């Protein structure tokens, strides 16, 4: 993947687009594409690209145009079916100057206009400038694997793959959006189109924007869809397994298309192990695998990783994440996420991608998506148990099913399960609520808001409007099966804005590594969404159909493993060793008061508790990392935003100036 930037003047009064401004924006995202740079410069438009060269290394430098130079593109991502699309376009008379997937998009847009996005199997964010129509087209992939942000300032639309590039424009200043912070401390991240910065928006996943005559128009082209709950039919289990196998094998194969070596993450769980096994069994590719080990045994899965690597015979490399490592790199992690975090999990992912990069790899395949589209998370099981319990709410036996989900939770083992029974009873009989599945999680996370300052609470109350209500429900949602409803919420509120962003793209691209996701192939998604819910969650067995498929490739101890969520230590990463200067500074009463987001006294008590060595509960852990990361966002982006020098003459920069005759 790469990084893109751009500016389009919306009014005659807007200042002329300057090459130096685009060079400054590109310098902010050099990490995303350090190989080459490109700029397209017109009187009222400028486009830029920082390239991570993966396909067509010799002639794929951007920006790229169509035959007559009337369409220009900058592109971040990969189009995996470009090999199949190209002959179709050539048969329609299009002539190609490169072998890149980027050029395929240009000609596809020339042929089909905005509808071209529905033909793309890939992960993408791109901008196409139409010289004749004086229009700009921006698009983002179905699930938002590739980021794309924008704002309007000084009469111009300013967009980029990362917010820091937008902030490089002197017309834009960073300020915290109180409602976005409120969302973060409930849903783990701001909900699209909001970002943590006021006035700066995501282009939502599965949408495109057309800007013409100074007016941006955003339209959706895709969202997750599920059948009505009473729809009968579909394959039997055996047919479902074979259908998934065919699609998943091909989705993996086409994601190996690259002119550079491709590796794979290996977590020791079902999903990444399945992808690695497909590569080993169905391709001739060399397979190097990479994983994270933790010194903290509570989080470590390295035994399973090593077992799987030996089984597949891969060249396996491991990065060991200590508490000290996570605490040390966390400020850099927040610089790349550009958002507050309620988990420390992105930090070890940053270390992992750094290992991949230092090993000479630019591309890795991973297992993200299986849990969302094949019902792997405990949140789906929780909802199922709660609905079962709600049929007999006075039952003492039914809540004991939670033992199978959380046997390790203190206060639950060896007794009647009063702790979790009390927790999950809240709202138990409100099964018709559209957010029934996620209320317990959101209620738990929202307790972290008790640290909010009165000033922040007032700003949230003042700024809230009915239109800000979240989440939103698509047409037909009430007719879906409860599992489908829960999957939709997980994809739209958690996977797209957090998992694929803060823990995904931002951590890989921080080290110029591209992640690819076979389970997120649109064909695989559509197939999984049409499967009967019982094929995904059979009793309390998650990902049932995937397990039936993967047992042919994996050792029993791997495919039979219960799902274990990826987590990283939080308070021990910041307080178990020598004091970290940045932690002391960010949590000092003076800095907390100056930022104005949190209550100094309450934060002081939390800090003292963590520093004492006491074990923090789930909510306190989330609050601690949320406060620290919020303070860092303010420090790095609002109070003290630093920019490197613009791209200089020594950088490999291709500059294309608009041909006014073509216009």
Question: Tens digits of per-residue pLDDT, 292-328?
Answer: 999 988 888 989 999 999 999 999 999 999 999 999 9
What the block records as the tokens of 523 is 């064909």
| 503 burial level (CB within 10 Å; 0-12, 13-18, 19+) | buried
Structure confidence at residue 406 (pLDDT): 78
Domain 3-222 falls in which CATH fold? 3.60.20
What is this structure's pTM?
Answer: 0.96
Residue 74 forms beta bridges with which residues? 127
Q: What is the mean pLDDT of residues 570-599?
A: 96
Least Cα distance to 609 among 570, 561, 637 occurs for 570
Structure confidence at residue 409 (pLDDT): 57
* Radius of gyration of the chain, Cα coordinates, nearest whole angstrom: 25
Distance CA 483, CA 480 (A): 8
Region(s) of the chain under CATH 3.40.50.620: 237-373+487-559
- 8 Å CB contact between 591 and 585: yes
Q: What is the mean pLDDT of residues 569-581?
A: 93
Structure confidence at residue 663 (pLDDT): 60
Q: What is the mean pLDDT of residues 482-495?
A: 97
Structure confidence at residue 649 (pLDDT): 82
Distance CA 309, CA 585 (A): 42
Distance CA 645, CA 464 (A): 39
pLDDT at 80 over 60: yes
Q: Poorest-confidence range of 337-341, 583-587, 616-620?
A: 616-620
Domain 237-373+487-559 of CATH type 3.40.50.720: no
Q: For 2-48, how does the pLDDT look when each residue is reduced to its tens digit (9 = 90+)?
A: 999 999 999 999 999 999 999 999 999 999 999 999 999 998 999 99
Structure confidence at residue 96 (pLDDT): 96
Query: What CA–CA distances, in Å, run from 236 to 247, 374, 550?
Result: 17, 16, 17
What would the DSSP string read from start to end of 330-382? HHHHHHHH-S--S-STHHHHHHHHHHHHHTT-SEEE--TTHHHHTT-SHHHHH
Q: 493: Cβ–Cβ under 8 A, 6 or more apart, which residues? A: 187, 191, 438, 470, 471
Structure confidence at residue 660 (pLDDT): 67
pLDDT at 412 over 60: no
Distance CA 638, CA 633 (A): 7
CB atoms within 10 A of CB 114: 15
Sign of CA dihedral 93, 250, 544, 403: negative
Confidence of residue 383 (pLDDT cuts 50, 70, 90): very high
Least Cα distance to 131 among 73, 72, 47, 216 occurs for 72
pLDDT at 496 over 80: yes
User: Both ends of the chain: CA-CA distance in Å?
Assistant: 30
Q: In what order do the strands lie in the sheet with 36-41?
A: 201-202, 149-153, 156-160, 3-9, 45-51, 36-41, 653-657
Query: What CA–CA distances, in Å, run from 429 to 7, 189, 393, 417, 478?
Result: 52, 28, 8, 19, 17
Structure confidence at residue 102 (pLDDT): 97
Backbone φ, ψ for residue 611 (5° rounding): -70, -20
Confidence of residue 417 (pLDDT cuts 50, 70, 90): low
Query: What CA–CA distances, in Å, run from 450 to 445, 454, 556, 595, 622?
Result: 10, 10, 45, 16, 12
Region(s) of the chain under CATH 3.60.20.10: 3-222
Q: What is the mean pLDDT of residues 342-352?
A: 97
- 8 Å CB contact between 74 and 38: yes
pLDDT at 662 over 70: no
pLDDT at 410 over 60: no
Structure confidence at residue 471 (pLDDT): 82
Distance CA 455, CA 178 (A): 10
> 522 vs 649, which has greater pLDDT?
522
What the block records as the tokens of 211 is 């800007």
What would the DSSP string read from start to end of 414-445? TS--HHHHHHHHTTTT-TTSTTTTTHHHHHHH
Distance CA 305, CA 552 (A): 18
Of the ranges 249-258, 459-468, 472-481, 554-563, the best mean pLDDT one: 249-258
- 8 Å CB contact between 7 and 20: no
455-475 burial: b if 16+ Cβ within 10 Å, else e: ebeebbeeeeeeeeebeeeee
Share of the chain above pLDDT 90, in %: 86
Three-state DSSP at 323 gives: helix
Q: Poorest-confidence range of 212-221, 228-237, 344-353, 375-384?
A: 228-237
Q: Poorest-confidence range of 8-12, 323-327, 378-382, 420-424?
A: 420-424
Confidence of residue 465 (pLDDT cuts 50, 70, 90): confident
Query: What CA–CA distances, in Å, run from 336 to 32, 125, 341?
Result: 11, 18, 11
């Amino acid at each position: 993947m790469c990084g893109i930037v751009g500016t389009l003047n919306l009014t005659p009064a807007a200042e002329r687009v300057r090459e130096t401004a685009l060079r400054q924006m590109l310098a902010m995202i050099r990490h995303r594409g350090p190989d080459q740079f490109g700029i397209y410069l017109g009187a009222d438009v400028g486009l830029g690209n920082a390239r991570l060269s993966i396909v067509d290394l010799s002639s794929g430098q951007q920006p790229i145009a169509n035959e007559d130079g009337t369409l220009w593109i900058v592109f971040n991502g990969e189009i995996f079916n470009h090999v199949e699309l190209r002959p179709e376009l050539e048969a329609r008379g299009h002539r190609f100057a490169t072998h890149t997937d980027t050029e395929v998009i240009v000609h596809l847009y020339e042929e089909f206009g905005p509808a071209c996005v529905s033909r793309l199997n890939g992960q993408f964010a791109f901008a196409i400038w139409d010289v004749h129509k004086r229009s700009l087209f921006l698009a983002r992939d179905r699930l938002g694997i590739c980021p794309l942000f924008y704002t309007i300032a000084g009469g111009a639309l300013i967009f980029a793959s990362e917010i820091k590039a937008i902030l490089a424009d002197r017309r834009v200043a960073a300020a915290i959006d109180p409602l976005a912070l409120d969302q973060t401390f409930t849903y783990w991240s701001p909900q699209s189109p909001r970002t943590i910065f006021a006035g700066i928006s995501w282009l939502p996943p599965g949408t495109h924007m057309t800007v013409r005559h100074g007016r941006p128009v955003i339209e959706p082209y895709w969202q997750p869809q599920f059948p009505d709950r009473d729809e009968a039919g579909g394959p039997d289990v055996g047919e479902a397994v074979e259908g998934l196998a065919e699609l998943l094998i091909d989705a993996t194969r086409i994601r190996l298309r690259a002119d550079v070596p491709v590796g794979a993450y290996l977590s020791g769980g079902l999903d990444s192990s399945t992808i690695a096994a497909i590569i080993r069994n169905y391709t001739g590719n060399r397979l190097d695998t990479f994983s994270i080990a933790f010194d903290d045994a509570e989080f470590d899965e390295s035994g399973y990783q090593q077992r799987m690597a030996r089984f597949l015979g891969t060249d396996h490399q491991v990065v060991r994440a200590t508490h000290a490592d996570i605490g040390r790199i966390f400020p850099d992690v927040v610089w790349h996420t550009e958002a507050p975090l309620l988990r420390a999990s992105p930090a070890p992912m940053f270390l992992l991608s750094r290992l991949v990069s230092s090993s000479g790899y630019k591309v890795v395949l991973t297992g993200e998506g299986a849990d969302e589209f094949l019902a792997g998370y405990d949140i789906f099981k929780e909802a199922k148990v709660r609905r079962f319990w709600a049929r007999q709410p006075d039952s003492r036996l039914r809540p004991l099913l939670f033992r199978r989900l959380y046997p390790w939770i203190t206060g639950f083992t060896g007794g009647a399960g009063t702790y979790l029974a009390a927790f999950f009873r809240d709202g138990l009989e409100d099964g018709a609520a559209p957010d029934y599945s996620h209320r317990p999680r959101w209620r738990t996370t929202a307790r972290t808001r008790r640290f909010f300052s009165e000033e922040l609470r007032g700003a949230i109350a003042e700024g809230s409007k009915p239109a800000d209500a979240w989440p939103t429900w698509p047409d037909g949602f009430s007719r879906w099966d409860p599992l489908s409803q829960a999957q939709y919420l997980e994809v739209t509120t958690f996977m797209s804005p957090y998992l694929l962003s803060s823990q995904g793209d931002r951590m890989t691209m921080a080290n110029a590594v591209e992640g690819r996701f076979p389970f997120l192939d649109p064909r695989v998604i559509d197939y999984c969404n049409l499967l009967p819910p019982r094929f995904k969650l059979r009793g309390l067995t998650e990902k049932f159909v995937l397990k039936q498929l993967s047992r042919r490739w994996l050792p029993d101890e791997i495919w039979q493993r219960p799902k274990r969520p990826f987590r990283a230590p939080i308070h021990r990463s910041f307080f178990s060793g020598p004091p970290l200067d940045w932690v002391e500074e960010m949590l000092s009463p003076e800095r907390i008061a100056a930022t104005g987001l949190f209550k100094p006294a309450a934060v002081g008590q939390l800090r003292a508790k963590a520093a004492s060595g006491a074990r923090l509960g789930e909510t306190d852990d989330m609050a601690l990392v949320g406060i620290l990361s919020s303070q860092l966002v303010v420090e790095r982006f609002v109070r003290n935003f630093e920019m490197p020098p613009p791209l200089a003459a020594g950088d490999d920069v291709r500059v294309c100036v608009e041909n006014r005759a073509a216009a």
